[in-house]
Chains A and B, each alone.
Chain A
Amino acid sequence: MSGDVKTGENGAGIALDGVRLRLGTQDFDFDTVLPAGRIIAVTGTSGSGKTTLLNLLAGFETPERGRILLAGQDVTALHPSERPVSLVFQDNNLFSHLDLFTNIGLGISPRFALSSADRDRISAALARVGLAGFEKRLPPSLSGGERQRAAFARALVRNRPVLLLDEPFAALDPSLRQSMAALLQTLHDDTGNTVLLVTHDPAEVRRLADHALFVSQGRIALSAPVEEFLAHRDIPEVLDFLGS
């Protein structure tokens, strides 16, 4: 099922070329090309391999075989810090004992050596995500939504072409999810980055995604533009997920 998906018009965004990996008793086998500059939803049941897919792209897992290409660059052998990606998880994106300024500053310089221009960028990024003046605040004093906004601000200053999101809104109230999705959409429109969003929420797929994947048992069972994905009727698991 996987494989021959149309390449995005800007050339390769994300490509997994015959990537194989075995973790414990589970085999993973990813082979796909995903469009650049789009928001791509990654769906699938728990344990199907969504997070493993993200870990492979981020460099936390290395494939036993195959190549991984990000923004046209072969990153298979690169350390996570050398890959053109930013990450946002469901929780614990920020070091809870460090203020937002330091948390975001580490996104610019991992040694925390900041120029005055860098400092301005941090404040600007905070303002951009609606947290102007929050520099000195500690993560535990923020709401869950505000913490995720700060994580977005760090992704913003890092300015990498690929943004990987692992259920970033799963811990938030439904009403908050909508405004966070809107923020993600705006940031995406501004930067034109490629966004890979792992989600359990069909509404999020409809709301945000240009393209969607369905991962099942370590493989990509379906990869299609979102209209086509939502209209798909011949895979029972996908129907279950869409709840229709």
Chain B
Amino acid sequence: MLTPAERRRALAGGVFSLAGILLFVGLAVFALLTFAGASSSSMTALADPYTLRILSFTLLQAFLSTLLSVALAMPVALALARQRRFFGRIWIIRLMAVPMGLPVLIGALGLLAIWGRRGVVNDTLAWLGLQEPIHIYGLAGILLAHVFFNLPLACRLMLIGLERIPAEYWLVSGNLGMPGLSVFRFVEWPALRRLVPGIAGLIFMLCATSFTLVLILGGGPAATTLEVAIYQSLRFDFAPQRAVSLALMQIVVTAGILGFLALFPAPEDRGIAAGKPVRRLDGRKTAARLWDGAVLSLAVLFLGLPLAAVALAGARADLLKLLGEAIFWRAALTSLSIALGAGLLSVSLAMAITQARAAIAAKRNPARTARLFSATLGATSSLVLLVPPVVLATGWFLLLLPGGDTGMLAPVLVLGINTLMSLPFVIRIVAPAVAAHRIRTARLSASLGLAGWTRLRLIDWPGLKKPLLMALSFAMALSLGDLGAVALFGADGLTTLPWLLYSRLGSYRTADADGLALLLGLICLALTIAGTAGLKIPEERDER
């Protein structure tokens, strides 16, 4: 349904995008490999007890984080699916979306305020006369933070799966009088069982490559992941050999996880659609109401308290003084420019890749090379996940090492790394939107002879505006909150908001850090609101 010119343009766009991505990732990996080849010690470092201990801790914490996130998300998702209508339900679902767009650093601050040594929980425990306060630094803190960020993700994905259960099933189980346990065994669990491996794999991936949370909450060498160890080797110990061997090990680990993930269908996040009205009679029983109420209250407290703590602490900080500082404005401007650049680039790449794949798919019998090209494009987002930001940064760090100065190139590199970092997520928003848009409009546009600029202006932009803006805002929020890439390059020359926050935290200027966290959080919140503004949130129209 494309004119030859359109097809050529789409393919060219795909070729350029793929070449750019491959070059950026390839050069970094090439640098890692040549460095490893040049010094035999990095290969032997792969097996030394230090690296093995880091590897096993990385996998252990990722495993436990995944287990806890999935296990705890399940009752929450079940409760939300069972209780169809109560005041604030839609707000709980929205709260579940917050950690996805929230800069990790802010979440960590909030968690410290609640669970930290002088946080709310420990104060309460001490007041109750308990001697041993909860110790947040180390494995406990990492697990807590990973659950905080991933439980909502798991919960949303499970809820989407549960909402897909045909409405009749609930009527049938009500009519048959199936008790709660039977409903779980025969209806809910079979729906969740198909999703759990994909969700668990995704969370394991996120936790195994987690950087910022471990950097802040990890407890020294005993509780360090590969990503943080890479950073410390480069920035503090200046041991590039070890950094390289750790980076290569990280690639092997992510490759293993991606291979495992490929065995299962990817969890879909299509948003929670209100389809047919769903009657959950099992949710009307008093026992179910009490249980669900308790589960949801706990979940809201667990997720909401740290956020509230950030807002409160931030409001207490001297915001006016912060806003008066030149460094704040410089950091904000840097952050926003990088975020905007990375966001636009990421969305453009995603569009180019999607269009090229569609152009190939539209041909009746695509050539072998075309099919291969399309498959490679499809695998791009996995390729990006294979080389996590800190590894990518390490490669480029080594590449630029001979020149000594990364200062000039640092913003460009951070922008590039942030672009790739958000690409998998952006593709997941853009690709289905473009596919749906094409089904709606392609034949009609072609039959009317709409093409080029006219079609872009009249058909494509109005139809795709919302998902593209949403993808852009999401990519920008991700980039705004990123600490990984900046941490390696961030010298005096390049100060972003998260880096400023982190250094204030490091120099114990906690009030400043609190204020910055609030400001950064507000910027991300504003972005998310702007990005989802026109987007219709399906309101619950159940029980009709």
Q: What is the interface of chain A, defined by CB distance below 8 A to chain B?
A: 23-24, 58-60, 79-83, 85-87, 89, 91-93, 95, 97-98, 102, 106-107, 110-112, 158
**A63: min CB distance to chain B, Å:** 15
**A60: min CB distance to chain B, Å:** 5
- On chain B, the residues within 8 Å of A23 by CB distance are 544
Q: Is the CB of A89 within 8 A of B169?
A: no
Stretch from B23-31, B44-52, B148-156, B173-181 that touches the partner: B173-181
CA distance A140 to B364 in the complex (A): 30
Give the nearest-CB partner of B183 in chain A.
A110
Q: Which of B168, B174, B181 contacts A89 (CB 8 A)?
A: B168
- On chain B, the residues within 8 Å of A97 by CB distance are 190
Q: Is the CB of B281 within 8 A of A93?
A: no
Give the nearest-CB partner of A110 in chain B.
B178
**Majority secondary structure, B binding face:** helix
Q: Which 7 A-B pairs have the closest CB atoms?
A: A81-B177, A92-B166, A92-B168, A110-B178, A80-B174, A97-B190, A110-B177
Give the nearest-CB partner of B279 in chain A.
A60
- On chain B, the residues within 8 Å of A95 by CB distance are 169, 172, 186-187, 190
CA distance A83 to B171 in the complex (A): 13
- On chain A, the residues within 8 Å of B297 by CB distance are none
Q: Indicate whether A81 sits within 8 Å of B175 (C-beta atoms), given known contacts A102-B186, A106-B186, A112-B182.
A: yes
Give the nearest-CB partner of A61 in chain B.
B279
CA distance A110 to B177 in the complex (A): 6
Q: Indicate whether A79 sits within 8 Å of B186 (C-beta atoms), given known contacts A87-B171, A95-B169.
A: no
Give the nearest-CB partner of A160 in chain B.
B175
- On chain A, the residues within 8 Å of B182 by CB distance are 106, 110-112
**A223: min CB distance to chain B, Å:** 25
**B241: min CB distance to chain A, Å:** 53
**B409: min CB distance to chain A, Å:** 54
Between B169, B174, B176, B279, the greatest number of chain A beta carbons within 10 A of the residue's beta carbon is seen for: B176
Q: Indicate whether A85 sits within 8 Å of B190 (C-beta atoms), given known contacts A93-B168, A110-B182.
A: no
**A16: min CB distance to chain B, Å:** 19
Besides the known contacts A102-B186, A110-B176, A112-B186, 6 further A-B residue pairs in the complex with CB atoms under 8 A apart? A59-B174, A59-B281, A79-B174, A80-B175, A92-B166, A111-B182
Give the nearest-CB partner of A62 in chain B.
B284
Q: Is the CB of A106 within 8 A of B175?
A: no
CA distance A95 to B175 in the complex (A): 14
Number of interface residues of B (CB under 8 A): 22
- On chain B, the residues within 8 Å of A106 by CB distance are 176, 178, 182, 186
Give the nearest-CB partner of A24 in chain B.
B544
- On chain A, the residues within 8 Å of B178 by CB distance are 81, 106, 110-111
What are 18 A-B interface contacts by the 8 Å CB criterion? A58-B171, A59-B174, A79-B174, A79-B177, A80-B174, A80-B281, A89-B168, A91-B168, A92-B168, A92-B169, A92-B172, A95-B172, A106-B176, A106-B178, A106-B186, A107-B176, A110-B179, A112-B182
Q: Which of A24, A86, A102, A112 contacts B175 (CB 8 A)?
A: A86
- On chain B, the residues within 8 Å of A59 by CB distance are 174-175, 281
CA distance A113 to B239 in the complex (A): 65
Between B175, B178, B179, the greatest number of chain A beta carbons within 10 A of the residue's beta carbon is seen for: B175
**B33: min CB distance to chain A, Å:** 47
- On chain A, the residues within 8 Å of B177 by CB distance are 79-82, 110
CA distance A111 to B179 in the complex (A): 7
- On chain B, the residues within 8 Å of A60 by CB distance are 171, 174, 279, 281
Give the nearest-CB partner of A158 in chain B.
B176
Q: Is the CB of A79 within 8 A of B171?
A: no
- On chain A, the residues within 8 Å of B173 by CB distance are 110
CA distance A190 to B169 in the complex (A): 28
**A215: min CB distance to chain B, Å:** 17
Binary contact track B175-209/A, C-beta < 8 Å → 1, others 0: 11111011001110010000000000000000000
CA distance A81 to B171 in the complex (A): 10
**A163: min CB distance to chain B, Å:** 11
Between B172, B178, B187, the greatest number of chain A beta carbons within 10 A of the residue's beta carbon is seen for: B172
- On chain B, the residues within 8 Å of A110 by CB distance are 173, 176-179, 182
